Amino acid sequence: MQPVKTAVFPVGGQGTRFLPATKAVPKEMLPVVDKPLLQYAVDEALAAGIERLVFVTARGKSALEDYFDIARELVDSLQRRGKTAELAVLDDTQLEPGRILYVRQQEPAGLGHAVWCARHVVGREAFAVLLPDELLWSPANPALKEMCAAYDRLGGNIISVLEVPEEHTHRYGIVSPGTVDGLITEVKALVEKPAQGTAPSRLAAIGRYILQPEVMDVLAHGKRGAGGEIQLTDAMAEMIGVQPFHALTFTGTRFDCGDKAGHVMANVALALERDDVGPAVRAWLKTQSL
């Protein structure tokens, strides 16, 4: 199996749930402790051996490009002042020229449309998609790396899933499961945001995908689905039966950072794990009547 080398990051969303902060700052740049949300997804992709990162952006997202560029004045000033620790922190934000490519999504026509906007960069190879809103925290076994290992064995298409409460299934792409083998579930069908009480299971897609390039051909039809948008889930559903399609259950901790409560929880949980800020946050939490 050819390794997966390209990852697509749909980052064109307006982030209305995080207004007013997102009036001037893209939601992907909101920090979890001290790193922007997007950096966690980029780190995960790099840990999985991804070589080329494609950001599908939109108007008002130029802060993302500046963030992954070299901030020459800042670097010079830190060097002059001998701030080596701060310089090292910038390393992961400065990828080699040409490793990140930017494509504009000109209209908010849905996740499937965003992925399709990257088709010329993706070419005719298997590729990954990472939704940065979903912070999949698993430093020892990064989610995409585990998916790549599964892809190596199974080929076809692999999506990351997690069981969600029945009453939340209407928020997600839901798997209709076939044979189960440990953490791998055969995908028989997929449904985007099923109406309450109609979900075929509680296995929800949580924003990580390894897909075959043929999904781009399906997306090219521009068929509208749930919410009147071009849905990635609908295009993937058309590949089932034509190509192998499996779900890998994520075993780490997932934070839905597209949601305010999820974002706060991610900040608290990740802060508690750190040696620098963890003790202070833990001590303060203990003084709170929870």
Task: List contacts with ligand G1P (CB under 6 A).
Answer: 111, 131, 134, 172-173, 192, 204-207, 231-233, 258
In the complex with ligand G1P, the residue whose CB is nearer, 10 or 156, is 10
By residue count, the chain amounts to: 290
Under a CB-based contact definition with an 8 Å cutoff, are residues 99 and 52 in contact?
yes
Q: Which of 244, 72, 59 is nearest to 151 (CA)?
A: 244
The residue whose Cβ lies closest to ligand G1P is 173
In whole angstroms, the minimum distance from the beta carbon of 192 to ligand G1P comes to 5
In the complex with ligand G1P, the residue whose CB is nearer, 114 or 154, is 114
In whole angstroms, the minimum distance from the beta carbon of 47 to ligand G1P comes to 20
In whole angstroms, the minimum distance from the beta carbon of 186 to ligand G1P comes to 18
In the complex with ligand G1P, the residue whose CB is nearer, 134 or 281, is 134
In the complex with ligand G1P, the residue whose CB is nearer, 57 or 233, is 233
Q: 242 to each of 102, 151, 161, 189, 212, how far by Cα in Å? A: 31, 16, 21, 12, 11
In the complex with ligand G1P, the residue whose CB is nearer, 86 or 259, is 259
In whole angstroms, the minimum distance from the beta carbon of 176 to ligand G1P comes to 14
Beta-bridge mates of residue 158: 210, 246
* Bridge pairing between strands 6-10 and 127-130: parallel
In the complex with ligand G1P, the residue whose CB is nearer, 112 or 281, is 112
Give the DSSP H or E segment for 213. Answer: none
In whole angstroms, the minimum distance from the beta carbon of 190 to ligand G1P comes to 8
Rg (CA), the chain: 19
In the complex with ligand G1P, the residue whose CB is nearer, 185 or 231, is 231
Long-range contacts of 242-246 (CB under 8 A, 24+ apart): 242/214, 243/156, 243/157, 243/212, 243/214, 244/154, 244/155, 244/156, 244/157, 245/156, 245/157, 245/186, 245/187, 246/150, 246/154, 246/156, 246/157, 246/158, 246/159, 246/184, 246/185, 246/186, 246/187
In whole angstroms, the minimum distance from the beta carbon of 131 to ligand G1P comes to 6
In whole angstroms, the minimum distance from the beta carbon of 53 to ligand G1P comes to 19
Q: Which of 246, 249, 191, 8 is nearest to 113 (CA)?
A: 8
